[in-house]
Structure 1
C-alpha cells in the first residue's frame, strides 16, 4: 500500500481554480487539497489542473486482449489500463463493459468474471477505476442476473444500447463484416445471425423490461442513460424513463432534444482530435460549437482527453478553463460527486500537472498519491523544500539539460472509500 504524499505546496504554476486560470499555490495534505506553509515544489512553467474524470472508455479491452486471439489475464489487463490512464492525467475512469446477447467478451458470463477481477484488483489501484455496464436492450432473460451483479459489485452507472439494427444492416449490405464479427466470438455467420433474430424476437417486451430496470436503478441509486441515440424520439423515450445521460448521439437532433430537457450530452474526445467521427456520425466539434455537448470521454484512447481540451483552446472554440471542465468538473457534476473535479479546499487531491509549453502530462496525483511521474517534474519533486531553483521550462534550452527521468512505477496503493 502506498502512502499519501507528505504535506507540500505546489508553487509557481498556473492553476485552474474557481473556474479561472490563476497564479496560485496548491497545498496537499493527507490526500486532500489543504492550507499550510508546507515544503514547496516549484512548478513554474506548468499548469496544475483537476484530474481528468473519464465517464466512458473501452481501451481496457486492448490491454486484456492486444489481439483478438491473444488474451492475457484480466489482472494484467487492469494493471496496464491503470497505468495507461494515470500516464494521461486520468484520476477517475469508468471501464465500459458490455452486457449483451452477442456473447464472447460482451456476454453476461464474461462481464461477471470481469467484475470479480475488478473487485480483486481494487486494492492495487492507482487510478480510481470503476465499471460502467453497457446493457443491450434486448436481454430480457438476464434482468434478474444483471440486477444481482449490480448489487453484488456496487455498479453505479449503466448505459442502454441496441446493436440489433447495426447487425441487421450489416447482414444485408456487408455479410463479410458479419462473418468477421461472428468469428471474433467463435461462431459462424449463421450462428451469429440466429442470435440476432432471437434477440429481435423480444422487441414487444423490451419497453417493459427497460422500465423495470429503470425502477430498480432508481432504487439502487444507479445513474443511467443511452448510447448512440439516432434521433430525437429515441432520446426522448429514454429520457422519459429516467435514462438521462445522452452518450454519443449520432446526429444533432438527439443532442438538441437532450439539451432542451436538461439531459447531459457526452461525446468522444478522439472525435474532436481527429476532426470527426471514425464511424461517420456527427462531429463532436460541431456539437460543442453549438453548445450541445457537455462532456468528453476517452471512448477508446486515453491520450485524446487532454489533447481534445487543448485542441478546443488552440482552435478558439473554448478557453482552457471551460475546455478542461469538459473532462473534469462537468463529469463530476453529472455523477453528482462533490469531492472531485475541481481544485478546492477539502476536495480530493486529484491533479494533472501539465508542461505549459509541450502540453505533456508529466505528473498525475490521485487522492494524494503519485500515480505518474516523469521528466522535469520528477526532478523538481526530488528537490522539494530545497533552495535550488528549478531549470526554466519554455523556449530556452538549458546548456546542460538534465538526464532523462523515465516514467516511474509507484508502489500500488489502496484507494480509500469515499
Structure 2
C-alpha cells in the first residue's frame, strides 16, 4: 500500500484544531508534519480532516432491507448499499443495531442470522468495518444460539439489552419515559383485550406480517415468560462478559433499571429516557448515548431529553446515528453553530468516545499509531459540512469531487 500525505487541511486533533500534514502508511497514521518522502499527496486546503466516525447504534440499514412495509430486498444487496452509505457519510466503523425479537418478519431471529451470516460472507467486499450490535429483546430466548455464534465471530459484536415487550404492555396511564423498573412486581399492565391496545399494536403487527389479533396472541404468550427473563438476562450477560463484548441497555426509565443492567455488565446507557437516569449513569461512571438525529433536529421525537441539552450539561458522551446516518455529522455542525462546545470536544462524541466505550483503542483520534480512519470534509464556515473523501484503515473508501 502506497504512502499518502494529506496536506493543507485543518486537522481535528484530540485537543485542538491545527493545520498539520498527516502521513498514512500500511493502514496507520505514521507521522504528523513530516517531509513527504515520496508519498502521494492529497490536497486538503480549505477543508477539515477529522477522525472518521464510529457509530455505536445505527438501524438505518433496516430501510435498505425493507424500504416499504412488507417489501423485502435481498440481504446482500441491502447490506452493500448500506456499506456505501456509511462510507459516504464518513462512518468507518458501524455497529448495526440488529434487533433480535420474538416478532416474525424484519426483526426476527431468522433475519438477524441472515444479516450476521451475510456480513461475514461480504467482509472482503465491504468498504467500512461493519459490526453488529445484538439488540436483543430479552423475552426472545430463541436468540441465544445466534448470540453465541456472533460472539465467537471474527468481529466482536456489542450486546444491547432491549425490552420492548414490557414497554409494549405498559398501561396507557403511565408515560413511557417514566415507567417503573421493567421487572417490578407491580408493573402497570394494559388490558390486552382493549381496542386501544389493538390500535397500538397495529404498526408492530404490520411490520411482522401478522394480523393484529394473532400478534396480540403471540405477545400474550411472550408475556407469560416474564418470570424467566431475569435468569436469561444473567446468562446472556455472562456469555458477553466472557467474550469481552461491550454491553448496553436501551431506553432505561429508572435509575433502578440502569443499576440492574449495569450489574449484568452494561456500562453504556443508551438513550436514557429522563434526566434522573442520565444523572445516575453519570454518577456511576457509565457512558451515556443519545441520538444524533435528536441533536441535529433540536429535540427528540419521543419526548426524551434533548441531546444538545444533555451535551451542554455533561450528560452525553456519545451521539449515535440511530435511524439516519447523516445525522452524526449534522449534529456536530449544529452543536458547534449553537456554541455548545469547541469542535475538537464535540467531535469526540462521534469518534473518540464511542471507540473508547466499545473497547476499540486503535481508532477514534488523529494520532501517530492509530488506524488511518479519516474523513476529509468540505465545511465552509456557517454552512452544512459534507464528506469529500473517507479512508478506512488507510484505504480510500469514498471520494466525491464538487462540480465547482
TM over 0.5: yes
Which residue does 1:411 correspond to in 2?
A: none
Which residue does 1:29 correspond to in 2?
A: 25
Which residue does 2:11 correspond to in 1?
A: 15
Residue pair 2:198, 2:213 contacting (<8 A) in 1 also: no
Which residue does 2:282 correspond to in 1?
A: 259
Distance in 2, Cα, partners of 1:50 & 1:325: 9
3-state DSSP class of the match of 1:326? helix
Shift of 1:69: 2.6
Residue pair 1:156, 1:221 contacting (<8 A) in 2 also: no
Which residue does 2:341 correspond to in 1?
A: 318
Residue pair 2:86, 2:325 contacting (<8 A) in 1 also: yes
Per-residue Cα deviation, 1:24-47 (whole angstroms, up to 9, x for no partner): 111112221123523432311110
3-state DSSP class of the match of 2:169? helix
Per-residue Cα deviation, 1:235-291 (whole angstroms, up to 9, x for no partner): 111112211111111111111111111110111000001111112222112211211
Which residue does 2:165 correspond to in 1?
A: 164
Distance in 1, Cα, partners of 2:386 & 2:151: 37
Which residue does 1:206 correspond to in 2?
A: 229
Which residue does 2:401 correspond to in 1?
A: 375
- In structure 1, stretches of 5+ residues that fail to align are 377-402, 405-418
Shift of 1:144: 4.2
Residue pair 1:140, 1:202 contacting (<8 A) in 2 also: no
Say what the alpha-carbon RMSD is for the aligned residues: 1.7
Per-residue Cα deviation, 1:147-182 (whole angstroms, up to 9, x for no partner): 244325654201001112332247654532412321
Residue pair 2:75, 2:118 contacting (<8 A) in 1 also: yes
Of 136-145 and 106-115, deviating more is 136-145
Pairs aligned (count)? 374
- In structure 2, stretches of 5+ residues that fail to align are 173-191
Distance in 2, Cα, partners of 1:323 & 1:33: 22
Which residue does 2:350 correspond to in 1?
A: 327
Which residue does 2:185 correspond to in 1?
A: none
Shift of 1:19: 2.0
Asked if 1:99 corresponds to 2:122, the answer is: no
Distance in 2, Cα, partners of 1:135 & 1:118: 18
Which residue does 2:314 correspond to in 1?
A: 291
Normalised by the length of structure 2, the TM-score is 0.88
Matches within 5 A, 1:190-269: 190-269=213-292
Which residue does 1:44 correspond to in 2?
A: 45
Shift of 1:231: 1.4
Normalised by the length of structure 1, the TM-score is 0.85
Distance in 2, Cα, partners of 1:90 & 1:142: 28
